[in-house]
Every structure is written in C-alpha cells, then in structure tokens.
Amino acid sequence: MADNESQSGAVEPTRQGSAPVSGRARQGMFGVRGTGDTSGYGGLRLPAYVPPAAERPYGGWFDEFADNFFAALNEQGLPADTVQQVTVDRGEITFYVRRDHLLEVCRTLRDDPALRFELCSSVSGVDYGPEVPQRLHSVYHLTSMTYRRRIRLDVALEIDDPHVPSVVPVYPTADFQEREAWDMFGIVYDGHPALTRILMPDDWDGHPQRKDYPLGGIPVEYKGAEIPPPDQRRAYS
C-alpha cells in the first residue's frame, strides 16, 4: 500500500515539499529586549513547538473519520494536495487546507452524510511573528452535532497576501468572527458580505493582535468621536 493511501483506498495528503509552519521560539513574556520589562519574566525562554505531521493510525475515531473525509474529497474531484498536512496534538486533529479549496472542503464536511459538520463554532486568527513563513493562520473549529465530533481546519497565509475565501456562504455563523479576525489580524476574507471592523474604529490604522504591532505609544483616537443619529448609522444587513 502506498504511503499516502489509507485502508479505504482514499488518497491522504502527501508530505513532500514545504509543510505549514506554526510556532516560534519566545524570549520574555512580552517580547521585551533589554531593560524595561518589569513583569519578572524577562528571562523566560521557550523553544519553538511545531506539532509533527501525524501518521496513521491517528487513534480513536480519527481514522474512521479520515477515511470518510478523504474519500469524500476524492468524490468531489479535489486534488490530492488539498489537505497539506494532518496533525494530532493534545487530543485534537487538525487539517491544514490550501485556501483555494477551502469552500469546497467546508461544503463537503457539512453535506456529506458520513461527515455532517453542521456548525462552524469558531473562526480565529493567529500570527506567529515576522520570523515565521506564512505567519498568518486562519483557524476554523467545526462541530458535528450528528456524530458529536470536533475538528480543526487551518489555512496558512503569507503576510503580503493575507487573502482567504469567506466561509459565510457555507457557515453563516462565521460572519462576525471573520470580521474580528480581519480587524485584529488583517486577514482578508474574500466574498464576506460586509468585511468591516468590529472592535476598532473604522479609520483605525493597523491590526492590534499582529506580533509586530506596538504594545504602547499608540495615539488615542477616540477624542472628539461622535455617535451619529440612528438614521445615519451604517447598516450591516
């Protein structure tokens, strides 16, 4: 049996070429160098941790699910490299998905009778810092209420091209969550019905949860702010 072929005959992701990178070494609690760190954690050193690519058997229900998942992707005609890597870490299975096929993967997970992931319970952004290639990640937690299972999808993005398709057409619950990931991390969700800021003012410069965003010295931009009357406020529907 080939290395990338499961017992059911479904083609699993190949592990040739560059794999998605996550995790980086940390120095100090807040990344402070030299003086100025009064937190007591200035000497903290944490090595980079990157969960390795998982090999079968994954354990538990993961194997049965993976067989059904890859078989469904094959039936949809999606290429073998749609899923770049599978990791199993801390009791959770993660599929690193190429962004070009994210919507098809989500529709398959939602609609296939053997999968039935009806709910996208969370969309979040991650920034692993300037030292990491493809430093931005858009992460999706999907829940199957039919089979009582949870999985993660992860899409890795370059900082210079932070575009990923919006999953709102498949999972409407992702609407405000994608807006928050855009606001905080600058991940652009193409096709979102109203991709505007949700926490910061509309004219705010930058994305506050990126690792290279300054921790202080940001001018206060709320002085002189005015709340418009209801008939002049922006509509989102």
Q: How far apart are CA 122 and CA 146, in angstroms?
A: 18
State the CB neighbour count (10 A cutoff) for residue 109. 24
Task: Identify which has the larger pLDDT, 146 or 4.
Answer: 146
Q: Which residue bears the tokens 């430093």? A: 135
pTM: 0.79
pLDDT over threshold 60, residue 115 = yes
pLDDT over threshold 90, residue 87 = yes
Q: What domains are defined for the chain?
A: 53-207 (3.30.460.80)
Residue 93, amino acid: I
If you count them, how many residues does the chain have?
237
Least confidently predicted of 8-12, 82-86, 173-177? 8-12
- Quick check: helix, strand or coil at residue 121? strand
Closest alpha carbon to 159 in 207, 191, 116 = 207
pLDDT over threshold 80, residue 64 = yes
Contact by Cβ (8 Å): 213, 207: yes
Task: Identify which has the larger pLDDT, 130 or 185.
Answer: 185
Q: Which residue bears the tokens 């994608």? A: 178
What is the average pLDDT score of the chain? 83
